[in-house]
Chains A and B, each alone.
Chain A
């Protein structure tokens, strides 16, 4: 366990920028968990007297059109961002990894499955998500599902490619020739080797999920308006851009810095990968 942790941390110790990315990510997780302690105000508390205040000593990030404290809303917004990220990544991995591994090991199943993935990939990402939202309706879990389906396609494709390569490794062939079953091979040889590349994929998916969810929220088709998500804050603050430019700065910055950190972390992890896997994960 300690050795594994050290291997994970090595790429960050040598790259200060990537270390900063990891640091921001940890900060975001801590913020999300400790939101009630950290937020100076109730994020939904309306205060008509202090509407659209610029950043000041009492409200560091200013207030919005209802007098709600923007800092508190940005802090609570980290919760939804984390939920969306974890939700989308889990969905993409839980569905995409078995689909990819089984397709590579059972060619007949694989032909059908990968054709199906091809078809899903012929829909531009946001349109696929929007189409699913139309069927499922608006909401946080539906947004996770809709974005999750988009990234299930890329995740299963990558897993498929990686597993095909692993199958030709000498030790896998040796195991097979000694009579190892498909599932033994998956558990002993395939899955352990997929962990690192999938960690890279997970950080990129987490980053893109932030941007996709923000787009859905911004269009009014994501999280319900009463939830203080960063995307909702941008959607609501939009018409006040000339009167209160700070209204849009902080939530947008939070989205950008989260996605940026995850991309940095993903990049650093990818550079440590086995070169044979690296080119499959290039964005």
Chain B
């Protein structure tokens, strides 16, 4: 386990290092002088000189990269053109909304996707199975923002049960009751991903059910329900655990659109607005933070997978 963890962590760090080069060059690929890209059109000559000195823009590009990396490592992601605040502070302000949204969505995905997938697999080949699989495929094909807009129409505009947009922090006024603002967005975001987990759980249950040890378990006379839950499901969940890595990536992508639909003050909406405002340092910072997060999640998934199934070897 030790050497496996070491190898996987090393590989993740190598990938992150390569990704950081791409993220650094992102600013240089945007048409225009990097210093004006970073400071915006309204920058004063003083600001230009200060940043030029800080980033060493007159020095070789390799050196500039390492300077940037050193700044990032110290938590200095630059300054937002729009907010005139440190980028990390701007991203941090959106973190609460995005983290809570992702957490609630993950709960939906798990409590909907896994049990329904198990039911579909248990009734394999029946009308119920085909119906559930078909509905899952349909949900995986519907744009999340379309689902979101109609959830707003039905539950906010027509029924008036839930708020249609925005999210006040639970640490300010309102407390935990503010979580109701995230109910519709998390359902919209969960729909396509729960559908994928459902399909995966079903397929993986059917794969495991064909294994010899399942036949042995049945032959021993173990009650069918116990075989399904203890023998099949436990092994089938391995594949589901490994899927949480790419589900997380899908969540980040779709949260960008969902937060825009529901006007949630999260990182997803921030990236879209920063693109429209040409606030490039913020875009760069968000991309960096999400890549780090995504690699960390994947690493955790890989390590826990290995913990659950010691047969996994390094390729």
The residues of A with any CB-CB pair to B shorter than 8 Å are: 17, 115-116, 118-119, 122-127, 130-131, 133-135, 207, 211, 214-215, 218-221, 234, 238, 241-242, 245, 248, 252, 255-257, 259-260, 263-264, 267, 282-283
B-chain residues with CB within 8 Å of residue A221 when the two chains form the complex: 272, 275
Given known A123-B287, A131-B287, A133-B275, contact A241–B152 (CB-CB < 8 A): yes
B-chain residues with CB within 8 Å of residue A234 when the two chains form the complex: 143, 145-146, 149
Question: What is the distance, in angstroms, from B17's C-beta to the closest C-beta of chain A?
Answer: 9
Q: Are B256 and A255 in contact (CB under 8 A)?
A: no
The 10 A-B residue pairs with the shortest CB-CB distance in the complex, in nearest-first order: A126-B253, A252-B146, A259-B141, A260-B141, A124-B252, A119-B18, A256-B142, A124-B249, A242-B157, A135-B29
Question: What is the distance, in angstroms, from A72's C-beta to the closest C-beta of chain B?
Answer: 20
The residues of B with any CB-CB pair to A shorter than 8 Å are: 14-16, 18-19, 22, 26, 29-31, 134, 137-138, 140-143, 145-146, 149-150, 152-153, 157, 196, 199-200, 203, 249-250, 252-254, 256-257, 260-261, 271-272, 275-276, 280, 283, 286-287, 290-291, 294-295
CA distance A234 to B147 in the complex (A): 12
CA distance A267 to B280 in the complex (A): 41
Question: What is the distance, in angstroms, from B16's C-beta to the closest C-beta of chain A?
Answer: 7
CA distance A131 to B24 in the complex (A): 12
**Chain A contact residues, majority secondary structure:** helix
| Most-contacted residue by chain A among B134, B137, B253, B256 (CB, 10 A) | B253
Task: Please tell me which one of the listed residues B276, B286, B291 contacts residue A220 in the complex, with CB atoms under 8 A apart.
Answer: B276
CA distance A215 to B260 in the complex (A): 11
Question: What is the distance, in angstroms, from B166's C-beta to the closest C-beta of chain A?
Answer: 16
Q: Are B260 and A219 in contact (CB under 8 A)?
A: yes
**Chain B contact residues, majority secondary structure:** helix
A-chain residues with CB within 8 Å of residue B276 when the two chains form the complex: 220
CA distance A218 to B253 in the complex (A): 13
Report 21 cross-chain contacts, Cβ distance below 8 Å, ordered by A residue: A119-B18, A119-B19, A122-B291, A122-B295, A123-B287, A123-B290, A123-B294, A124-B290, A125-B253, A126-B252, A131-B26, A134-B280, A215-B256, A218-B145, A220-B276, A221-B272, A221-B275, A241-B157, A252-B143, A259-B142, A263-B140
CA distance A207 to B138 in the complex (A): 12
Kindly report which residue of chain B lies nearest to residue A255, judged by CB atoms: B143
Q: Are B143 and A256 in contact (CB under 8 A)?
A: yes
CA distance A207 to B287 in the complex (A): 25
Question: What is the distance, in angstroms, from B290's C-beta to the closest C-beta of chain A?
Answer: 6
Q: Are A118 and B15 in contact (CB under 8 A)?
A: yes
Question: What is the distance, in angstroms, from B125's C-beta to the closest C-beta of chain A?
Answer: 13
Given known A122-B19, A127-B290, A133-B275, contact A215–B257 (CB-CB < 8 A): yes
A-chain residues with CB within 8 Å of residue B29 when the two chains form the complex: 135
CA distance A248 to B256 in the complex (A): 20
Question: What is the distance, in angstroms, from B275's C-beta to the closest C-beta of chain A?
Answer: 6
A122-B19, A122-B295, A130-B256 given; 17 more Cβ-contact pairs under 8 Å = A115-B14, A115-B18, A119-B19, A126-B256, A131-B283, A135-B26, A215-B145, A220-B276, A221-B275, A234-B145, A234-B149, A241-B149, A241-B152, A256-B138, A257-B141, A260-B137, A260-B138
Q: Are A248 and B271 in contact (CB under 8 A)?
A: no
Q: Are B149 and A122 in contact (CB under 8 A)?
A: no
A-chain residues with CB within 8 Å of residue B18 when the two chains form the complex: 115-116, 119
Task: Please tell me which one of the listed residues B196, B256, B260, B275 contacts residue A283 in the complex, with CB atoms under 8 A apart.
Answer: B196
Q: Are B134 and A17 in contact (CB under 8 A)?
A: yes
Question: What is the distance, in angstroms, from B88's C-beta to the closest C-beta of chain A?
Answer: 18
